[in-house]
């Protein structure tokens, strides 16, 4: 049996980078991503679907982060913006009356509001390597019992049926579909240059 991987607070996120974000059922770490988390132009909801032009990249801004990333075991929180909507909107957990999972919570882009816990995300990594092992996303308003997941064929939703927090192997081929879809992968795509998307002050 291999060494067990424990979930821990994420480290290494660059707030001045745009990231290509995808999930573990459709893409694999270390390979070129063929899908991305993006806004569905037909519904304004969020989907994970094949790459588009222009792409939809994501910026992760630390939220009220006063801890030392290198030494603290405290959860780390972020707000997420995409390259299409800019600073005006942030990724949020939203009620979705058509969502079959308990809680009926999906994703949307909401007008940026630093006081809205639904726009704040706890991000953890599944092992020692953020890029290789993937990330777990928890919404601050929903609580730690719900993890960001994806239905087969979309859309993303907050799932209370969660994967275990450790594994017997670092080989993702051993993961079942439910666990794969709760693992999110990202790779740095380009620098954030827009002045209004530089790290926010006074959060």
Distance linking the first and last C-alpha atoms of the chain: 44
Task: Name the burial class of residue 42, with classes exposed (0-12), middle (13-18) and buried (19+) by CB atoms within 10 angstroms of its CB.
Answer: exposed
User: Once rounded to an integer, what is the mean pLDDT over residues 82-97?
Assistant: 93
What is residue 157's predicted lDDT score, i.e. its pLDDT? 95
* pLDDT digit string, tens, across residues 158-194: 999 987 654 434 444 444 444 789 999 999 999 987 6
What is residue 68's predicted lDDT score, i.e. its pLDDT? 54
What is residue 65's predicted lDDT score, i.e. its pLDDT? 64
Please determine, for residue 51, whether its predicted confidence score (pLDDT) is greater than 70: yes
Task: Determine the Cα–Cα distance for residues 35 and 49; give it in Å rounded to an integer.
Answer: 5
Domain definitions of the chain by residue range: 8-193
What is residue 118's predicted lDDT score, i.e. its pLDDT? 97
Q: How confident is the model at residue 1 (pLDDT cuts 50, 70, 90)?
A: very low
Topology classification of domain 8-193: Trefoil (Acidic Fibroblast Growth Factor, subunit A) (2.80.10)
What is residue 197's predicted lDDT score, i.e. its pLDDT? 59
Sign of CA dihedral 167, 168, 172, 173: negative
Q: What is the DSSP code (8-state) at residue 77? A: E
Q: What are the two backbone dihedrals, phi and then psi, of residue 196, each rounded to the nearest 5 degrees?
A: -75, 0
């Amino acid at each position: 049996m291999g060494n067990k991987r424990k979930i821990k607070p994420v480290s290494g996120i660059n707030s001045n980078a745009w990231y290509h974000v995808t999930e573990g059922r459709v893409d694999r770490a270390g390979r070129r991503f063929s899908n991305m988390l993006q806004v569905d132009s037909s519904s304004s909801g969020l989907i994970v679907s094949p790459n588009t032009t222009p792409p939809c990249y994501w910026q992760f801004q630390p939220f009220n982060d006063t801890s030392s990333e290198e030494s603290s075991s405290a959860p780390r929180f972020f707000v997420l913006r995409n390259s299409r909507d800019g600073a005006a909107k942030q990724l949020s957990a939203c009620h979705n009356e058509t969502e079959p999972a308990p809680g009926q919570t999906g994703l949307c882009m909401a007008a940026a509001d630093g006081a809205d816990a639904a726009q704040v995300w706890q991000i953890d990594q599944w092992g020692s390597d953020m890029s290789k092992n993937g990330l777990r996303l928890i919404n601050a308003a929903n609580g730690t019992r719900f993890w960001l997941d994806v239905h087969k064929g979309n859309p993303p939703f907050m799932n209370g049926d969660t994967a275990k927090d450790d594994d017997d192997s670092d080989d993702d081929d051993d993961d079942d579909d439910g666990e794969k879809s709760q693992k999110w992968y990202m790779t740095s795509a380009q620098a954030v240059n827009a002045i209004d998307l530089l790290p926010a002050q006074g959060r």
